[in-house]
Amino acid sequence: MLKVLSLLILLWMLVPQVSYAAVGTKVDGVSYENPGAQLWRDVRQRDTEIQGSTQIKGMDSNVWMNVTGEAWRQYRMLNLIPKAGIAILLTLAIAILFRLIRGTVKLQAGRAGKKILRFTFNQRMAHWSSAILFVLLSLTGIILLFGRSTLIPLIGAESFSYIAATAKTLHDYLGPAFAVSMILLFILFVKGNQLALKNDLNWILKGGGMFGKHASADRYNAGEKGWFWLATLVGAVIIVSGLVLDFPIFQQNRVGMEFYHLLHTIAATTMIVASLGHIYMGTVGLEGTLEVMKTGYCDVNWAKEHHDLWYQKVADTAVDESELEQKTGVKTTPKSSNATV
């Protein structure tokens, strides 16, 4: 039997074959239509998926062709990625322009030389853990989103493939860790971030005091509260959609994965854009702000100028800076904090 099959295969290989490589192909002067071209054209142009039966078990394994796949790819490449890039670049441009016009907002009364505890060790660790994870996830996400169009022309496809593979691995494994850090961050910072309509609205109307008029604020001002709730709610969308994409084992179909991919990209871009403002104000925007999250302590005059309502409640806890440094062994006013960046 085996010999017969071998002979048939050999005879088939020896018989001249007609090429159907393309529509209108000519063989020995005779034109032949590609019998598969029109078939696949009709399949791709259908509005619904063609389904059949298969022994392979799994979601969408019985779908002959996913007709939405190409439409999704076109939308992602031609709409989603360019708009996300514009949003991030526009925000960076605004931050740079604001920096050039306004510069660092100095403490009007200078430093008082007395400190007040503002953030505990646990709060600072939760903040820095989530911040570092967010930065790493943002960088790897940006590589995966924009790398094909920006890095391949610079370093070539092969080099980019190694970078993209590393970025994807980091993104996949750091995502669940970010979810844990955000839960801890919410638990430790939700107190004091409840909305106070009168004070918060007044702070917003005065532009946070950036335009000359003092804006009173309690432990957290309206801007900080807005960032907290945006990070919490949008962060939840990022985490849930990211876990769906990270673990495609819960019967997610292709259309569902496309939806969560879209949701993940929009939410992540929103978070990145908002975080740029938060990072700017927390580093070079306001004098003395970065050291608060680094050491946990704020200068008395910083508290008066930015959170006067909160200062009134904790004023009696202020301690002399030199006494605090002797007690804790930690320098609470880093040299770099006075520098203009």
End-to-end C-alpha distance for the chain, whole angstroms: 84
Which pLDDT score is estimated for 11? Answer: 44
Q: Among 173, 217, 214, which residue's Cα sits nearest to residue 192?
A: 217
3 state DSSP class of 17: coil
- The residue extents of the domains of the chain are 69-118+239-338
C-alpha neighbours within 13 Å on the C-beta side of residue 139: 10
- For 141, phi then psi, to 5°, come to -65, -40
Q: Which two tokens stand for residue 91?
A: 């925000």
Which pLDDT score is estimated for 290? Answer: 92
Q: Which two tokens stand for residue 69?
A: 């796949």
DSSP states of 238-252: HHHHHHHHH---S--
pTM of the model: 0.79
Per-residue pLDDT of the chain (341 residues; tens, 9 = 90+): 444 445 444 444 444 444 434 444 555 555 656 666 666 666 666 666 666 666 666 666 666 666 677 788 888 888 999 999 999 999 999 999 988 988 888 988 888 889 999 999 999 999 999 999 999 999 999 999 999 889 999 999 999 999 999 999 999 999 999 999 999 999 999 999 998 888 889 888 888 877 667 888 999 999 999 999 999 999 999 999 999 998 877 777 878 888 999 999 999 999 999 999 999 999 988 899 999 999 999 999 999 999 999 999 999 999 888 877 777 666 666 654 443 33
* Residue entry with tokens 């770099």: 336
